Chains A and B, each alone.
Chain A
Amino acid sequence: MTRRALVILTLLGCFASSLIAQHTAEGTVLEHGSRLPVAGAHVRIGPKVTATDLNGFFSIDGLDPGLQTITVTAIGFEEHIASLQLGPGQKQEKLTILLKEKMQGLDEVVVTATRSENRISDIPGRIEMISPEKLRLTVSQSIDEVLALLPGVTVSRSFGLFSHKSTVSMRGLGGNEQARTLVLVDGIPVNKADGGSVNWNLISMLDIERVELLKGPGSALYGGNAMGGVINVIRRKPSHKTEANLGLSYGTYNTRGIKANAGRQHNSGLFWSAGAFARASDGYITQSWADRQANPYIVKSAFDEKMMAVRGGYKKSDRFEVNLDLSVFDDRRETGEKVNQPHGNTTDHDSYHFRAAFAGREAKWNWSAALFYLNENYKRVSEWQKDDYTWYDVRSLREDLGLLTALSRNVGRHSLTAGFDIRHGAVDASDIYYTSTDQVDNKGKMRFLGFYFQDQLHFFDDKLQLIAGLRYDEALFYDAAFVIHQPSAETRFMSSYQFSGLSAQHWGAMSPRLSIQYKPHNNFRVFLSYSRGFRPSVLDDLCRSGRVRGGFKVARPNLKPESIDNLEAGIDYRPIEILHIAASIFYAAGHDFLYYVSTGDSIDMGFGNRPVMIRSNISEVNIYGFEGSVNSSPLSFLNLTAAYAFTVSKITGYAASLAVSGVDLTGKTLADVPRHTFTAGAFARLSFLDAGLTARYTGKMFVNDQNSYDDLVLSNQYPATFTLDLKLRKSFLKHFDLGFTIQNLLDQKIYESKGAVGPGRFMLVDLSCHL
């Protein structure tokens, strides 16, 4: 009995000692050629997972002794798998892992195209991805500027950092319509229902892991706005070691910024991160020379912006994960004219975004659900001195909230995904005059309910893939009003366009998708895809009447959605390991596109008669084009890219009966769509310096949809532009990083539709310290 007890005690002791004698593995993940640290790499040893910090460091404790497999993955690098023998005597392993750079492209895992993780090579469609490496070496003051390097993507940010609005569009759908391209942050939409716009300034560059683009309609999965494509900004999660960063920057026009962030993933599964940035600039004069002569109240367009974000969550395994996220943003951008107000004409955004995302796995089912609430308090101060002084504020409360769900599982050769989304958008706005008695109120609400289903079929060891998907969205527009109180001459001309108490408007949209791909081996694939997308009318068109360029806009509550049917074919080919060629051709037929058309009436808005315009679903559009890109890494430290896009967007049918002005747009080209764009980039990671040089040529674009002469641009087309940007980075003293950026190296003067000029050459130095 005593002997048996002794044996049991010995065994228990061994077991206990094995528990107590658990190992810690720590080390550094470096790039193979340059030996520079790789941040954000995922390191897995057995069931334990962590991510490297900015120094490439990782640490995993609580490991059992014995033979373990260590797997390291990082975007832009080949997967590293090795065996790790943890002997009984060793308590701590010091590792150095070298990752080989991978040709970016087909092997990357993305989530946007299917609402679940998939390799790009397994998705029959054109997916683009911007890796952290490209983000680090591409000149950009905000994330949208990075997208301009991709073929077929048009970014309208006329005043660079000083723009209060930026628009990113794709596939020839008009460069000033953000509502035709869906933008997501971690899978959650940020287009506002009010105008479809996205405040790109509030997407912090602090913790972006990568950006994914799905080109062509994505409405079969995402519903509205995903007409030209989907942009998904994916943010990085904190690593297992506490990390903290502080950065300072200074540049042209006395532009100064500070940013800081910190975060950690705890072994318990809890993680947190917090970040903030503040940026301000004295700005420059954006107006044309003629305006400067004519207007004594012109001043520089300065700005001041602040952003703070806190995130927290829990992830112990793939079985359950929760992410909570709160972002607060506040900016004031001056628009270059000051009469009496402290900052003159300004726009202010006070925004906060709250997101709660849940995901998990139960048996063979993967599920996810996300709640979001976006609140934007927009204020615009307008003042000018003409005959007398005019001062009014636009105050607009915009709210967007929703619930997004997805459920997926693999059954045999089927990967099934289904779910439903509920979205609600509202605007409650007023134009409040101080130099007269007027107050103009407008409001409206829009609600969507969408159901979707998708089946991804795999045949012949994934050599043949088929995706079939269908989504139905039901939309409801209600509680709309446009009312004027105490009108004076400033607004009396709008009195006859007031409304309230309208009955709700319903419509539905069906969005199918069918795509097929043949991939005989990993270096080659071809795909063919059909998909339909739609864009709901924005609240601003449905319930607000007011001044627009060239006339007076009347609200139209019964507008239908725009839609597009898109057919595309693509090829990816990697003839040699260091070269990746991608090409797509597409043809799209657009229906019920919206335009301002004259009602035939005119109205005196205080400075003579102007035409009354109304948004109408009026035209059919044909868009076709070609996109091609080449990506090569001839040397381990050098990556070269080049891309060309050719796009033609023609109006093919125009319901002239609605356009009583007699204008017929048939045969005209959509405005703000360049026929030719060419981009090129060279990115080098040298042992002593990192460098990125990028170039972009944007061909001529029509100023307006009538393709007619514009008084301000003095042509019917904007001239072609060519810009060259340079970025240099140097890491030193282990914890420091020094960057130097020159945007628009050749100092091109780029004018926008109102004749205002861009900032020209812009230089910035930034220094960051990371611990």
Chain B
Amino acid sequence: MCFAKSHTNTHRMQRIFFWLLLLIILGCSKAEQPSLKPIIIMKTGSYTVNGSKVPPGGRLSFGITASGGGATLTNLLIRRKLGDQVITELDKGIYINEGGLNIDFTAVKGMAEEEDWTFMVMNANRDTAVAQVQVLLGEGSAWGSLLHFESVVLGMQHNGSLPNYLDLHNGISYTQEQVQGHEAEIDLVAFVYTTGGIISPTLCCPAYSGSSSVTGHYPAIAGWVVRNSTLYDYYTSDNQLISAETFDAAVNDSLLVTAFNPGNVSGLCKYAFADRVIPFRTEEGKYGLIKVKHADELSDGAIELEIKIQQ
């Protein structure tokens, strides 16, 4: 009798153990997903390729195609190495699920004998792929001419009597009514708001969004099909690295290109006070400088700008 009971208990224990083990095994096993690395391929043809010789000021054009290897592409990083100095030209967060990445990137050749360009993509698994292009210094000089707009006056967000929307490439500004049909040409608007306890005259591009985004001050922009992204070098502006005199002395696009530090850029440029000089790069890849001649600290005030941009 005792033996029978013990035998039954043993069987019961064995069954429990078996099911527990099965549960643990099923719980622990995961379907292994094959992890593919991303792929990056540099385009050739009319693009700058490995070993190209380009004179200082000459245009570099890189074509980049990439796929995430089954995972979402999340980062594109472009670096230029000049001897020991490494400059991050672009470090862009992206989110590309399908179709892969296919973009062109333009830059201007500097004075270095050799420039080693590195192009890296990363996917959501943090796997990376890298391509490299070496560009050599060509003969002569290719610094270009610039366009100079001595005075552009824009209204702040609540100023309806002045134009508010600016095309940086030709210095044309538009009012709310006039801008219809020209949305794809707009690179800059201005507004005033309080940030960090300071009233800040601010420059912003149509593509910028976030807690102090452009659509909060210019709601109509939210409905635009094309919203250009202009990158302002706020670090140079905040630290006043370029004086008004240096700005005035620029006669070709050399300063416009070299002043722009891509490591500290944003579509929002706060504290655009008078005499600040702000390097920028437009969505088209044109470099330029803005000198603030006057800035009201009122939302119905105005801002006066002097602009130099690559022709």
Measured CB to CB, the residues of A under 8 A from B are 290-291, 293-297, 339-340, 384-391, 432, 434-437, 488-489, 550, 604, 606-610, 709, 711
Please tell me which one of the listed residues B77, B216, B229, B270 contacts residue A387 in the complex, with CB atoms under 8 A apart.
B229
- Ordered by A's residue number, 29 sampled pairs between the chains whose C-beta atoms are within 8 Å are A291-B216, A293-B215, A294-B209, A294-B216, A294-B217, A295-B213, A296-B209, A296-B215, A296-B222, A340-B95, A386-B267, A387-B229, A388-B94, A389-B74, A389-B94, A434-B75, A435-B75, A435-B92, A435-B95, A436-B91, A437-B126, A550-B196, A604-B238, A604-B264, A607-B266, A607-B268, A608-B196, A608-B270, A608-B271
Distance between Cα atoms of A388 and B267 in the complex (Å)? 9
Whether B208 is near chain A, meaning CB under 8 Å from some CB there, is yes
**Contact between chains at B91 and A489 (CB < 8 Å):** yes
Taking A294-B211, A434-B75, A435-B75 as given, write out 6 further A-B residue pairs in contact, using a Cβ cutoff of 8 Å, ordered by the A residue number: A291-B211, A294-B213, A387-B267, A390-B93, A489-B264, A711-B194
Contacts of B194 in A (CB 8 A): 711
Indicate with 1 or 0, residue by residue over B101-130, a CB within 8 angstroms of chain A CB atoms: 000000000000000000000101010100
CB distance from B138 to the nearest CB of A (A): 31
Whether B197 is near chain A, meaning CB under 8 Å from some CB there, is yes
Complex A-B, nearest 8 residue pairs according to Cβ-Cβ distance, in ascending order: A435-B93, A294-B216, A389-B93, A386-B210, A340-B95, A434-B74, A388-B93, A294-B213
Distance between Cα atoms of A388 and B207 in the complex (Å)? 9
| Chain A binding surface SS class | loop
**Contact between chains at B210 and A384 (CB < 8 Å):** yes
Distance between Cα atoms of A489 and B210 in the complex (Å)? 18
Whether B174 is near chain A, meaning CB under 8 Å from some CB there, is no
Whether B47 is near chain A, meaning CB under 8 Å from some CB there, is no
CB distance from B10 to the nearest CB of A (A): 23
CB distance from A432 to the nearest CB of B (A): 7
Contacts of B311 in A (CB 8 A): none
**Contact between chains at A488 and B91 (CB < 8 Å):** yes
**Contact between chains at A297 and B215 (CB < 8 Å):** no
Distance between Cα atoms of A389 and B88 in the complex (Å)? 17
Distance between Cα atoms of A604 and B261 in the complex (Å)? 14
**Contact between chains at B234 and A387 (CB < 8 Å):** no
Chain B residue nearest to A490 (CB atoms) is: B91
- Contact residue range for chain B? 35 or more
**Contact between chains at A387 and B213 (CB < 8 Å):** no
Distance between Cα atoms of A488 and B93 in the complex (Å)? 12
Whether B265 is near chain A, meaning CB under 8 Å from some CB there, is yes
Please tell me which one of the listed residues B75, B92, B213, B235 contacts residue A604 in the complex, with CB atoms under 8 A apart.
B235
Contacts of B77 in A (CB 8 A): 436-437, 488
**Contact between chains at B212 and A294 (CB < 8 Å):** yes
Contacts of A391 in B (CB 8 A): 74, 93, 95
Distance between Cα atoms of A294 and B215 in the complex (Å)? 5
Please tell me which one of the listed residues A387, A389, A432, A711 contacts residue B95 in the complex, with CB atoms under 8 A apart.
A389
Chain A residue nearest to B124 (CB atoms) is: A434
Q: Give the tally of cross-chain contacts (CB within 8 A).
A: 104
CB distance from B237 to the nearest CB of A (A): 9
Distance between Cα atoms of A386 and B231 in the complex (Å)? 11
Distance between Cα atoms of A604 and B92 in the complex (Å)? 18
| Chain B binding surface SS class | mixed
Contacts of A436 in B (CB 8 A): 75, 77, 91, 93
Residue among B210, B216, B271 facing the most chain A CB atoms (10 A cut-off)? B210
Whether B140 is near chain A, meaning CB under 8 Å from some CB there, is no
Contacts of B238 in A (CB 8 A): 604, 608-609
Measured CB to CB, the residues of B under 8 A from A are 74-75, 77, 88, 91-95, 122, 124, 126, 128, 194-197, 207-213, 215-217, 219, 222, 229, 231, 234-235, 238, 263-268, 270-271
CB distance from B124 to the nearest CB of A (A): 6
Contacts of B195 in A (CB 8 A): 711
**Contact between chains at A295 and B210 (CB < 8 Å):** yes
CB distance from A542 to the nearest CB of B (A): 27
**Contact between chains at A488 and B88 (CB < 8 Å):** yes
**Contact between chains at B264 and A386 (CB < 8 Å):** no
Chain B residue nearest to A389 (CB atoms) is: B93
**Contact between chains at B234 and A434 (CB < 8 Å):** no
Residue among B95, B212, B263, B264 facing the most chain A CB atoms (10 A cut-off)? B95
Chain A residue nearest to B94 (CB atoms) is: A389
Distance between Cα atoms of A386 and B195 in the complex (Å)? 17
**Contact between chains at B266 and A386 (CB < 8 Å):** yes
Distance between Cα atoms of A662 and B101 in the complex (Å)? 51
**Contact between chains at B91 and A293 (CB < 8 Å):** no
Contacts of B265 in A (CB 8 A): 387
Distance between Cα atoms of A489 and B263 in the complex (Å)? 7
Distance between Cα atoms of A474 and B271 in the complex (Å)? 50
CB distance from A625 to the nearest CB of B (A): 32
Contacts of B75 in A (CB 8 A): 434-437
CB distance from B260 to the nearest CB of A (A): 14
Chain A residue nearest to B91 (CB atoms) is: A488
**Contact between chains at B126 and A385 (CB < 8 Å):** no
CB distance from B159 to the nearest CB of A (A): 19
Please tell me which one of the listed residues B74, B210, B266 contacts residue A435 in the complex, with CB atoms under 8 A apart.
B74
Contacts of B128 in A (CB 8 A): 437
Distance between Cα atoms of A607 and B215 in the complex (Å)? 18
Contacts of B229 in A (CB 8 A): 387
**Contact between chains at A386 and B209 (CB < 8 Å):** yes
Contacts of B126 in A (CB 8 A): 432, 434, 437
Distance between Cα atoms of A546 and B307 in the complex (Å)? 37
**Contact between chains at B219 and A293 (CB < 8 Å):** yes
Contacts of A711 in B (CB 8 A): 194-195, 197
Residue among A290, A297, A434 facing the most chain B CB atoms (10 A cut-off)? A434
**Contact between chains at B211 and A297 (CB < 8 Å):** no
CB distance from A760 to the nearest CB of B (A): 23
Contacts of A297 in B (CB 8 A): 209
**Contact between chains at B208 and A386 (CB < 8 Å):** yes
Contacts of A296 in B (CB 8 A): 209, 215, 222
**Contact between chains at A295 and B88 (CB < 8 Å):** no
Q: Knowing A391-B74, A391-B93, A435-B94 touch, does A385 contact B210 (C-beta < 8 A)?
A: yes
**Contact between chains at B231 and A387 (CB < 8 Å):** yes
Chain B residue nearest to A287 (CB atoms) is: B211
Contacts of A608 in B (CB 8 A): 196, 234, 238, 270-271
CB distance from A285 to the nearest CB of B (A): 15
**Contact between chains at B209 and A437 (CB < 8 Å):** no
Residue among A290, A387, A604, A606 facing the most chain B CB atoms (10 A cut-off)? A387
CB distance from B53 to the nearest CB of A (A): 31
**Contact between chains at A387 and B266 (CB < 8 Å):** yes
Contacts of A432 in B (CB 8 A): 126
Distance between Cα atoms of A384 and B209 in the complex (Å)? 9
Contacts of B94 in A (CB 8 A): 388-389, 435
Contacts of A604 in B (CB 8 A): 235, 238, 264
